[in-house]
Amino acid sequence: MGNDVPVEFAVAVDRYLGAAALGEASRRVYRISLRGWAWPLVGRPVPDGRARRGAVPPVVPLALLDDPATPAKLADSFAARAATTDERTVNRELSVLRSATAWWREQGWINEDPAAGLRHRPRGRHDHPRPGARPPDRSPGLTAEQVTQLFRLPVALREHAFWRLLHDTGASAAEILALDADRLDLARHRTRPRPGYKDDDPAVIEWQDATSQVLRWLLTGRTWGPVFLTGRRAPAGSTPCDVCRVTGQGRMSYRRSAEIFTAATRPLDPAGRGWTLHQLSAAGRGV
């Protein structure tokens, strides 16, 4: 290894992201994914749910990636994560880890591939959750009639655009909330391919032309920053890519968007509980 080898995993992450040809939104998603791998590298469970928000990852020596015990730790963590998270998310997190470790090996910082034995999860497959784990949301997707009722609700333009995009694409709410205005190709009703790809980028998502019109109304000329914003200014210390430099508002969080959706749909739900964003996304996938 060279003399400029980073000692800590977090520093190696920063250098990888600094060299990667990524947009601001993608860089943010990559950082979140890589931070999540820090806990299993030291044999600790990843904080779940709300506990993960704001949790400080442990300090991890980069040399641990060459430890013979590391592949087993990552495999256990990956299986546990897959038991409570949709396949799209865990597969993306694995792809991000593989991309980073491949680059680190090219730099000579590590010698082994700790993720070599991990495989992407087939779409539609669900493993049995580990004891004590929060089960994934497997509620059936909304019916066509329920979706029609949903889009008749008198809600803000932001919610209408978010819900339509979630339904059209079948993507996870986290993916939609991570979108930035400059990633949208509204003329072609899709996201723009990432650098290095043309039209064969598997991460491109598409939607209906009517949704593009709603997005035009929502953005009203904004060409940079988060597509979906909160109704107030971002708190001090927010990541710049999560703040609109025109209004100072922050990126909409999953927690808040889920609360709004469930509250708005409670009158439509015979059980009175309200529906979930997962059910709307599942309806878009025909699940």
Neighbours of 194 (CB within 10 A): 15
Burial 166-177 (b: 16+ CB within 10 A, else e): bbbbbbbbbbbb
| Phi, psi of 148, deg, nearest 5 | -60, -45
| One-letter amino acid for residue 276 of the chain | T
CA-wise closest residue to 2 among 105, 78, 81: 105
pLDDT of residue 129: 44
pLDDT of residue 133: 43
Per-position pLDDT tens, the chain of length 287: 445 889 999 999 999 998 887 777 778 888 888 988 998 888 887 776 555 656 788 899 999 999 988 888 888 888 877 777 777 788 888 888 988 898 999 899 999 888 887 777 765 544 444 444 445 555 678 999 999 999 999 999 999 999 999 999 888 888 899 899 999 999 999 998 877 666 666 678 899 999 999 999 999 988 888 999 998 888 887 788 888 888 899 999 888 999 999 999 999 999 899 999 989 988 876 55
Q: What is the DSSP letter of 231?
A: E
pLDDT of residue 136: 52
The answer to whether the CB of 257 falls within 8 A of the CB of 197 is no
| Token representation of residue 254 | 């999953």
pLDDT of residue 82: 77
The answer to whether the CB of 127 falls within 8 A of the CB of 83 is yes
Dist. CA 91–CA 106, nearest whole Å: 23
Dist. CA 16–CA 285, nearest whole Å: 34
Put simply, whether the predicted model's pTM sits higher than 0.85 gets the answer: no
Query: Which element (helix H / strand E) includes 39?
Result: helix 38-41
CA-wise closest residue to 77 among 49, 108, 38: 38
CA–CA distances in Å: residue 254 to residues 41, 133, 285: 27, 20, 20
| One-letter amino acid for residue 256 of the chain | R
